Structure 1
Amino acid sequence: MPELSKAMLDVSRLVLHKRAVQEQGGLLSGQDPTAININDPLRLWIIQVGVIVLTTQLLSLVLRKIRQPRVIAEVIGGILLGPTAFGRIPGFTQHIFPTDSRPFLSLVANIGLCLFLFLVGLEIDAAVIKRNARLSVTVAMAGMCLPFGLGSALAVPLYHTFIDQSVKFTNFMLFTGVAYSITAFPVLCRILTELKLLDTTVGIVVLSAGVGNDIIGWTLLALSVALVNAGSGLEALWILLVCVGWTLFLLFFVKRVLYWLARRTGSIRDGPTMFFMTVTILLLFGSAFFTDIIGVHAIFGAFLAGIIVPREGGLAIALTEKLEDMVSIIFLPLYFTLSGLSTDLGLLNNGITWAYTIAICALAYFGKFTGCTLAARFSGFTWREAGTIGSLMSCKGLVELIVLNVGLSAGILSQRVFSMFVLEALLLTFMTTPAVTILYPPEIRVRAAATGANFNSADAQGGNGDIPRLEGTSHSRDDEGKSRFTVVLDKIEHLPGMMAVTQLILPPPPPYAERTPPTDSSADLDGKGVSPPPEVGSTPVSIDAIRLIELSDRTSAVMKGSNIDSLMATDPLLDIFTTFSALHGAPVSSSLSIVPFEDLGATVSEQARRNDSHLIMVPWLPPHHHTAGANDHHPAPAAEHTANATPMPTPRVTTHMQNPFEALFRATAAGAEERDASISHSHFVRALFGSARTDVALFVDRHTPGGVAKVSRGGAHRLFVPFFGGPDDRLALEFAVQLCANPKISATVVRVTKAADGQGLGVGLGERVSTEKSPVLGEGERDGSGDAGAHHQNLATIASVFPDTVYGHATTQTRLQSETADNIAWARYTRPSDPSLAPALSRMKFVEVSTPNPLHYIIENALKMSETAVEEHSRLLVLAGRSRRLAVENHHAELKTIMEEHGGVGSEVKRTVGDVTTALVVSGCQANVIVFQAALASD
Structure 2
Amino acid sequence: MPNLNLVANLGLILFLFLVGLEVNMKMFMSNWKVALSVGLAGMLLPFGLGAAIAYGLYHEFRNDPNTVHISFGVYMLFIGTALAITAFPVLCRILTELKLLSTPVGVTVLAAGSSVALTLLLVLLSSWFTGIIGVHAIFGAFLVGLICPHEGGFAIGLTEKLEDMVSVLLLPLYFALSGLSTNIGLLNDGITWAYVIGVCAVAFAGKIIGGTLAARACKLVWRESFTIGCLMSCKGLVELIVLNIGLQAKILSTRTFTIFVVMALITTVSTTPMTIALYPPWYQKKLDAWKRGEIDWDGNTLNNASSDSNTEGPFEKLQSTQVRKLMVYLRLDSLPSLFTFISLLGGDKASAAAKIHRNKLALAPVPEGSESSSATVIGKRPLEVHGLRIIELTERTSSVMQVAEQDEFSNRDPVVNAFRTFAQLSNVAVTGDVQIVLEESFAETLASQATDHASDMVLIPWSETNSSTELDGRKDNISSGLQDVFIRKTLEDAVCNTAVFYNRGFGGPSISEPKSLVRTGSRLSLRSNREPLTAPIADRSHHIYFPFFGGADDRVALRFVLQLAGNTNITATIVHFILPLQSTKESVTETVGPASLGGSSSRLDITERMDTDTLHASAARDTTLLHTLRDSLPAVQATRVVFVEKSTTTPIADCLEHAKQEIGQSPNNAGDLIVVGRGRHVRLSDIETHGNAGSEMRKTLGILAESIISSGVKGSVLVIKAGGRGLDE
Residues 73-92 of structure 1 correspond to what in structure 2 (within 5 A)? Answer: none
Residues in 2 aligned to 1:434 and 1:326: alpha-carbon distance in whole angstroms = 31
Would you tell me which structure has more helix in proportion to its own residues?
1
Equivalent of 2:413, from 559, 563, 571? Answer: 571
Distance 1:180 1:750, change over 3 A: same
Per mean C-alpha deviation after superposition, the further-off stretch among 693-702 and 305-314 is 305-314
Offset of residue 684 of structure 1: 2.4
Residues 208, 233 of structure 2: 8 Å contact kept: yes
Residue 809 of structure 1: SS of its match in structure 2? strand
Matched, 1:862 2:650: no
Distance 1:184 1:861, change over 3 A: same
Percent identity over the alignment is 40
Residues in 1 aligned to 2:453 and 2:236: alpha-carbon distance in whole angstroms = 37
1:698 maps to what in 2? 500
Residues 482, 615 of structure 1: 8 Å contact kept: no
Matched, 1:114 2:17: no
1:650 maps to what in 2? none
Residues 220-299 of structure 1 correspond to what in structure 2 (within 5 A)? Answer: 275-299=114-138
Per mean C-alpha deviation after superposition, the further-off stretch among 348-357 and 844-853 is 844-853
Equivalent of 1:686, from 471, 488, 498? Answer: 488
Specify the code of the residue in structure 1 equivalent to 2:679. S
Specify the code of the residue in structure 2 equivalent to 1:737. L
Residues 395, 432 of structure 1: 8 Å contact kept: yes
Residue 617 of structure 1: SS of its match in structure 2? strand
Residues 326, 455 of structure 2: 8 Å contact kept: yes
Residue 196 of structure 1: SS of its match in structure 2? coil
2:94 maps to what in 1? 191
Specify the code of the residue in structure 1 equivalent to 2:96. T
Distance 1:570 1:749, change over 3 A: same
Per mean C-alpha deviation after superposition, the further-off stretch among 327-336 and 402-411 is 327-336
Residues 451-470 of structure 1 correspond to what in structure 2 (within 5 A)? Answer: none
Distance 1:510 1:566, change over 3 A: closer
Give CA deviations for 1:76-104 in whole Å, capped at 9, x if unaligned: xxxxxxxxxxxxxxxxxxxxxxxxxx433
Specify the code of the residue in structure 1 equivalent to 2:683. E
Matched, 1:898 2:700: no
Offset of residue 127 of structure 1: 1.6
Residues in 1 aligned to 2:229 and 2:301: alpha-carbon distance in whole angstroms = 22
* Gap runs ≥5 in structure 1: 1-101, 211-274, 514-519, 626-662, 665-672, 760-797
Matched, 1:363 2:202: yes
Offset of residue 846 of structure 1: 2.4
Distance 1:696 1:674, change over 3 A: closer
Residues in 2 aligned to 1:565 and 1:931: alpha-carbon distance in whole angstroms = 32
Matched, 1:444 2:283: yes
Give CA deviations for 1:329-359 in whole Å, capped at 9, x if unaligned: 2223222222222223333233222221111
Specify the code of the residue in structure 2 equivalent to 1:616. V
Residues in 2 aligned to 1:397 and 1:142: alpha-carbon distance in whole angstroms = 19
1:203 maps to what in 2? 106
2:644 maps to what in 1? 847
Distance 1:191 1:511, change over 3 A: same
Per mean C-alpha deviation after superposition, the further-off stretch among 832-841 and 730-739 is 832-841
Residue 644 of structure 2: SS of its match in structure 1? strand
2:607 maps to what in 1? 809
Residues in 1 aligned to 2:626 and 2:481: alpha-carbon distance in whole angstroms = 38
Give CA deviations for 1:446-491 in whole Å, capped at 9, x if unaligned: 7999xxxx99989998597999999xxx999755133333433443
Specify the code of the residue in structure 2 equivalent to 1:881. G
2:526 maps to what in 1? none
Matched, 1:880 2:676: yes
Distance 1:114 1:571, change over 3 A: same
Residues 388, 440 of structure 1: 8 Å contact kept: yes
Residues in 2 aligned to 1:462 and 1:845: alpha-carbon distance in whole angstroms = 53
Equivalent of 1:912, from 700, 703, 706? Answer: 700
Specify the code of the residue in structure 1 equivalent to 2:76. M
1:889 maps to what in 2? 683
Residues 651, 684 of structure 2: 8 Å contact kept: no
1:127 maps to what in 2? 26
Offset of residue 409 of structure 1: 1.7
Residues in 1 aligned to 2:496 and 2:167: alpha-carbon distance in whole angstroms = 40
Specify the code of the residue in structure 2 equivalent to 1:933. K
Distance 1:832 1:864, change over 3 A: closer
* Gap runs ≥5 in structure 2: 311-315, 354-367, 470-474, 514-532, 583-591, 598-602
Give CA deviations for 1:151-176 in whole Å, capped at 9, x if unaligned: 11111111222232743223322221
Would you tell me which structure has more strand in proportion to its own residues?
2
Residue 99 of structure 2: SS of its match in structure 1? coil
Offset of residue 208 of structure 1: 0.7
Residues in 2 aligned to 1:455 and 1:567: alpha-carbon distance in whole angstroms = 29
Residue 389 of structure 2: SS of its match in structure 1? strand
Residues in 1 aligned to 2:671 and 2:435: alpha-carbon distance in whole angstroms = 34
Residues in 2 aligned to 1:310 and 1:460: alpha-carbon distance in whole angstroms = 41
Residues 732, 880 of structure 1: 8 Å contact kept: yes
Distance 1:676 1:188, change over 3 A: closer
Residues in 1 aligned to 2:466 and 2:9: alpha-carbon distance in whole angstroms = 46
Offset of residue 276 of structure 1: 2.2
Give CA deviations for 1:261-297 in whole Å, capped at 9, x if unaligned: xxxxxxxxxxxxxx32222222212222222233222
Matched, 1:138 2:40: no
1:732 maps to what in 2? 557
Residues 329, 388 of structure 2: 8 Å contact kept: yes
Specify the code of the residue in structure 2 equivalent to 1:935. G
Residues 92, 400 of structure 2: 8 Å contact kept: yes
Offset of residue 324 of structure 1: 0.7
Residue 869 of structure 1: SS of its match in structure 2? coil
Equivalent of 2:254, from 400, 415, 425? Answer: 415
Offset of residue 132 of structure 1: 0.8
Residues 620, 699 of structure 1: 8 Å contact kept: yes
Distance 1:428 1:464, change over 3 A: farther
2:184 maps to what in 1? 345
TM-score, normalised on structure 2? 0.80
TM-score, normalised on structure 1? 0.63
Matched, 1:547 2:349: no
Matched, 1:588 2:430: yes
Distance 1:377 1:459, change over 3 A: farther
Residues in 2 aligned to 1:167 and 1:507: alpha-carbon distance in whole angstroms = 82
Residues in 2 aligned to 1:305 and 1:595: alpha-carbon distance in whole angstroms = 29
Offset of residue 180 of structure 1: 0.9
Specify the code of the residue in structure 2 equivalent to 1:922. S
Residue 178 of structure 1: SS of its match in structure 2? helix
Over aligned residues, Cα RMSD in angstroms? 4.1
Distance 1:383 1:103, change over 3 A: same
Specify the code of the residue in structure 1 equivalent to 2:338. M
Distance 1:124 1:806, change over 3 A: farther
Specify the code of the residue in structure 2 equivalent to 1:351. G
Residues in 2 aligned to 1:120 and 1:528: alpha-carbon distance in whole angstroms = 52
Residue 501 of structure 2: SS of its match in structure 1? strand
Equivalent of 2:230, from 391, 400, 411? Answer: 391
Residues in 1 aligned to 2:26 and 2:699: alpha-carbon distance in whole angstroms = 47
Equivalent of 1:495, from 335, 354, 359? Answer: 335
